Amino acid sequence: MTGWPPGWLSLPVAFILATVLTPLLRRWLLRFNLVDLPGERRSHTAPTPRGGGLAIAVAFLIAVLLAGDPLWWPGVFAVSVLAMLGWLDDRAELHPAVRLAVQSAVAVLGLWWLGPVATVVVLDYSLHWPWLWTPLAGVAVVWLINLHNFMDGSDGLAAMQGAWSGLSFAVIMLMNDLTGPASFALAMAGGFAGFLVWNRPPARIFMGDVGSMVLGGGVAMLALVGAASGAVSVWVSLILTSVFVVDATATLALRVSRGERWYTAHRQHAYQRLIVAGSSHGQVLALYAATNLLLVMPAAWAAVVYPGLGAGIAIGLIVLLAGGWWVIQSATVTENQGHE
């Protein structure tokens, strides 16, 4: 492959659109008083417009459509559905059953479009169990959508993860000559990077559910096409998303084990604990970004170069990150206990 990779314009187009659209959307949101107010379960201290993820969605989807690959238009439709769901949820909180039903429909659409997940490689053994991996992939899609929503609670954190995930998946897709998915991933990276200009600490606008659902849905579609095509193993996808997956999953497991109402708002994720303990939003953002660069990126590279070791590398990284999560949980206050 010589010169610029196919579809590379998706990134700057989405970046410019998101950077320009976000402040315009911010003015509109303020005009109609669509703001998040500070509260006991929130990490910000001033009223801030929410729903800025609409600018990400528009920039992301326009960039994908301009790339001109009709094979990825079902992906555009899936992300558009999630964007509409998130926007409605930002305007008037939807019942959890409604959100779950739509997210499950998107997972089914993704599996219908990209095909079943037939094989997973573990220690050089190819386990061809489509009857198991395909439904598990559907569950994973729904969980990825929701966990990214849970992790959107600190200035710049989810936007950084969106840029990181999109760029990382794009590199791996291009290595496998998957130009359509690569353009999709580059557009996602550009959209979230453009939004980060306005969402970095101190955030002038929040992405809201519309943004976090676009993030989770975009990551899920990329992981799904990687698994279905065999180009990106489930282990590499797990590694790339591990910082958010570990924090969200471990926190959920902890709350369930304590008999807490896990579906209610709280501040028990590691990033929230750090903020409650006195860390700034900028410090938390720097910590998670550094973890991606210093731990996740080398692990992903190793899993790509040595695919037979992917499972072991992924599990080792998960254990390491879970250990860090537990240290933070143990070292910070437990203000939420007893207040559920």
Burial class (CB in 10 A: 0-12, 13-18, 19+), 283: middle
Looking at residue 335, its pLDDT comes to 47
Instruction: For the chain, 340 residues long, give each residue's pLDDT as a single digit of tens.
Output: 445 566 789 999 999 999 999 999 999 999 888 887 765 555 555 678 999 999 999 999 999 988 877 778 888 899 999 999 999 999 888 999 999 999 999 999 999 988 888 888 887 788 899 999 999 999 999 999 999 999 999 999 999 999 999 999 999 999 998 888 999 999 999 999 999 999 999 999 999 999 999 999 999 999 999 998 888 999 999 999 999 999 999 999 999 888 887 667 788 999 999 999 999 999 999 999 999 999 999 999 999 999 989 999 999 999 999 999 999 999 986 544 433 3
Looking at residue 337, its pLDDT comes to 43
Q: Where are the alpha helices (DSSP H) in the chain?
A: 10-31, 53-67, 73-91, 96-114, 130-150, 157-175, 179-199, 208-229, 234-240, 242-257, 270-276, 281-291, 297-305, 310-331
- Element (DSSP H or E) covering residue 261: none
Burial class (CB in 10 A: 0-12, 13-18, 19+), 244: buried
- On whether the CB atoms of residues 23 and 54 are closer than 8 A, the answer is no
Looking at residue 259, its pLDDT comes to 83
Cα–Cα separations (whole angstroms), residue 292 to 30, 112, 157, 285, 302:
34, 32, 12, 11, 14
Model pTM score: 0.92
Work out the number of other CB atoms within 10 angstroms of the CB of residue 312.
Answer: 15
**Nearest-CA neighbor of 51 among 20, 74, 27, 69?**
27
**Nearest-CA neighbor of 36 among 282, 205, 279, 200?**
205
Looking at residue 267, its pLDDT comes to 85
